[in-house]
Amino acid sequence: MAKKVSLINMKGGVGKSTLAVNLAWHFAAMSKWIKKVLVVDLDPQFNASQYLLGVTEYDKIIKNNIPTIWDIFEQFTPLPGSPVPSALEPTKVIYNAKKFYAGSCIDLIPSRLELAFSLRNPGQKEQLLAKLISKIEDKYGLIVLDCPPTESLFTWAAYLTSDYILVPVKPEYLSSTGVSLLVNSMEEFKRRYEDHNLELAGIVFNATTEYVPEEITSKAEVKKIAQKHGWYVFQNEVSYSRSYPKGAREGQPIFRTSYSHLTQAARFSAFAEEFAQRIGL
């Protein structure tokens, strides 16, 4: 059964999509792991889909009306003149993004801009994703959900689907406050869904540079709050590197981005290993 992890922070621009895709790639392509990985793009901004597919492949999905995450949330929405809606077949919404020689892969449930429209009428839709994923999770070793940075139907859909939450935090003032917002949201969720096991896998400092006083202060503050509430903070940080945005442009992970420093790839790898240990991968 797959380990299901949502990457969430109630603050945008902390590097959730980049981290989600790089983690997926690490566990699918590194010969030590060779996991089949599914990435679920839950963000209407569809950055993870952009990273994994590129323009041509993504355009095919849109032009050919291939189902996306939007279809999962709207599968039972009746349309005038259409037959009575039935449950969406999971394989129709899963798109192979990368195949690797050892038999592993990165599959994707892509997102699209129209996903935001599902928020206009969110009633009873939050469980649909978890139901669909439960039908196919045995095929995967890891399922990574890339979430939007605001509390919504998608956040709860992610909680219901996941075993763990991973919180990337960019060590700066506004990004750090996003952690408390998220934990509030998780607590509210747990009150409503008492029987659902959802754990905070931990907080990872992302895009760190070590030299900025603001960063040092923010890290210290986040660690203090984490200690107070018993939240885990990953020892390995993902340091800032221009190779990350470059990798997104090239459609490559940090360890295959052209001219990326081995030290950056090694730091990411160290975090990925700690993450795997933490969630029992």
Closest by CA position to 4, among listed 189, 188, 137, 116? 137
Binding residue (CB under 8 A) for another protein from 80, 81, 103, 213: 103
Give me the least distance between CB of 235 and another protein, in Å please. 27
Classified as helix, coil or strand, 44 is coil
Residues in contact with another protein, shown as a per-residue x/- string from 54 to 93 under the rule CB under 8 A? xxxxxx--x-------------------------------
Nearer CB in complex with another protein: 183/265: 265
245 vs 252: CA distance, rounded Å: 10
Give start and end residues of each alpha helix (H) in the chain.
Answer: 16-29, 47-63, 69-74, 90-93, 128-136, 153-161, 173-192, 213-229, 243-250, 262-279
The residue from 92, 99, 196, 261 that contacts another protein (CB under 8 A) is 99
| Helix count and strand count (H, E) for the chain | 10, 8
CB of 188 vs another protein, minimal distance in Å: 33
Return the residue of 92, 229, 242, 249 that touches another protein, per CB under 8 A.
Answer: 249
DSSP category for residue 257: S
Cα–Cα distance measured from residue 208 to residue 239, given in angstroms and rounded to the nearest whole number? 4
Q: Which one of 11, 98, 170, 219 is in contact with another protein (CB under 8 A)?
A: 98
Q: Is 101 in the site for another protein (CB under 8 A)?
A: yes
What is the rounded distance in angstroms from the CA atom of residue 183 to the CA atom of residue 185? 5
Q: Does 251 bind another protein (CB under 8 A)?
A: yes
266 contacts another protein (rule: CB under 8 A) = no
AA letter at 227: Q
The SS3 call for residue 164 is strand
Instruction: Give least dist CB 41 to another protein, A.
Output: 15
Asked if 188 interacts with another protein (CB under 8 A), we say no
Report the interface residues with another protein, using CB under 8 A.
Answer: 29, 31, 50, 54-59, 62, 98-103, 112-114, 249-252, 256
